[in-house]
Amino acid sequence: MKKEIICTVCPRGCAITVEGGDGKVTSIEGNGCKRGLSFAETEFTSPVRLLTSTVRVAGKENELLPVRTRTPILRDKLFDVMNAIRATTVTLPVKQHDVVISDVCGTGVDVIASRDME
C-alpha cells in the first residue's frame, strides 16, 4: 500500500510518500528532515489527532464550553469520542484544564476544559 502524507510538523509541509502494509513501513520518501520520518511513520501505522469540540452547559441553553482531548487520540476513535462529547453536559463553574470526561471511550485520554467558565 502506498500513501501520500503532508507533513504538518513545520510550515514547509513536505509531501511524503510512505509504502508498507500490515502496519509496517517499508519505505518513506519526500521528507525534508528526520522529524518527518517519525511523523510519516505514525500517520501510516496509527494516525492520531487532537480533538477540539464543545459541550453543553447545564441551565444555559445558549452557552457551550470549549473542550479538547488532553493529548492526541487515535483517529479511529474520533467518532466514538465525538459521540461521548455530544452526550455530555457540564455544570458550572469550570476551570481551564478541569477534566470533563475521564478516560474518554477507554482511550486513556481525558477530555478537558479549554478555558474557565463561571
Q: Which residues bind ligand SF4 (CB under 6 A)?
A: 7, 9-10, 12-14, 31-33, 35-36, 39
Q: Which lies closer to ligand SF4 via its Cβ, residue 49 or residue 86?
A: 49
The CA-atom distances, in angstroms, between 51 and each of 60, 67, 79, 93 are 24, 8, 10, 22
Q: Which lies closer to ligand SF4 via its Cβ, residue 39 or residue 101?
A: 39
In the bound complex, what is the minimum distance in angstroms from residue 114's beta carbon to ligand SF4?
A: 26
Q: Which residue is nearest to ligand SF4 (CB)?
A: 36
Q: Which lies closer to ligand SF4 via its Cβ, residue 7 or residue 73?
A: 7
In the bound complex, what is the minimum distance in angstroms from residue 3's beta carbon to ligand SF4?
A: 15
The CA-atom distances, in angstroms, between 106 and each of 45, 84, 94, 102, 103 are 20, 11, 23, 9, 5
Helices (H), the chain: 34-45, 78-86
